[in-house]
């Protein structure tokens, strides 16, 4: 009986099969896997029993994250650090990268502004109102 990695067609090294988006490069996938391993330790590594499984998973992640840029990947990693005790699936990671999880994109942007204000000065009612107005604005977009 053949291992599944021998029966599944390998994707093109530079293009994904879906919508002709560029695949995430091997260097990006390697770095992403290293980050996820550091974040989740055994919860991440226990998913893969052999090197062939790791290679296949990397191919799937390269395809599943096709078209994402560095900022989006960073957003997803931040989401994972802050909100996920278990490793994400490709779909969960992609949703986080695109800011499509429970309004997290807005919460993250608002957090950055509020945190900056908190670190630089005491908050005033004027700051709070400015923050509320800014949130209303981004939620409309």
pTM exceeds 0.75 for this model: no
Decide if pLDDT at 81 tops 70. yes
The answer to whether residue 6 sits within a structural domain is no
Residues 51 and 88 in one domain: yes
The 10s digit of each residue's pLDDT in 91-126 is: 999 999 998 766 544 455 555 665 565 555 566 777
The 10s digit of each residue's pLDDT in 8-57 is: 444 444 444 455 788 999 999 999 999 999 999 999 999 999 999 999 99
3-state secondary structure the chain: CCCHHHHCCCCCCCECCCCCCECCCHHHHHHHHHHHHHHHCHHHHCCCCCHHHHHHHHHHHHHHCCCCCHHHHHHHHHHHHHHCCCCCCHHHHHHHHCCCCCCHHHHHHHHHHHHHHHHHCCCCHHHHHHHHHHHHHHHHC
Residues 97 and 113 in one domain: no
pLDDT for position 132: 79
Residues 79 and 42 in one domain: yes
The answer to whether residue 2 sits within a structural domain is no
Residues 83 and 39 in one domain: yes
pLDDT grade, residue 2 (50/70/90)?
Answer: very low
């Amino acid at each position: 009986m053949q291992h599944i990695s021998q029966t599944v067609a390998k994707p093109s090294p530079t293009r994904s099969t879906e919508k002709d988006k560029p695949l995430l490069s091997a260097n990006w996938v390697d770095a992403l896997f290293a980050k996820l391993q550091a974040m989740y330790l055994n919860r991440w590594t226990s998913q893969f029993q052999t090197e062939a499984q790791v290679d296949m998973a990397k191919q799937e992640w390269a395809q599943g994250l096709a078209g994402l840029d560095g900022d989006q990947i960073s957003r997803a990693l931040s989401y994972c650090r802050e909100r996920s005790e278990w490793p994400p699936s490709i779909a969960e990671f992609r949703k986080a990268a695109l800011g499509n999880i429970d309004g997290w994109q807005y919460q993250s942007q608002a957090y950055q502004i509020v945190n900056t204000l908190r670190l630089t000065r005491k908050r005033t009612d004027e700051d709070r109102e400015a923050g509320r107005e800014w949130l209303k604005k981004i939620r409309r977009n």
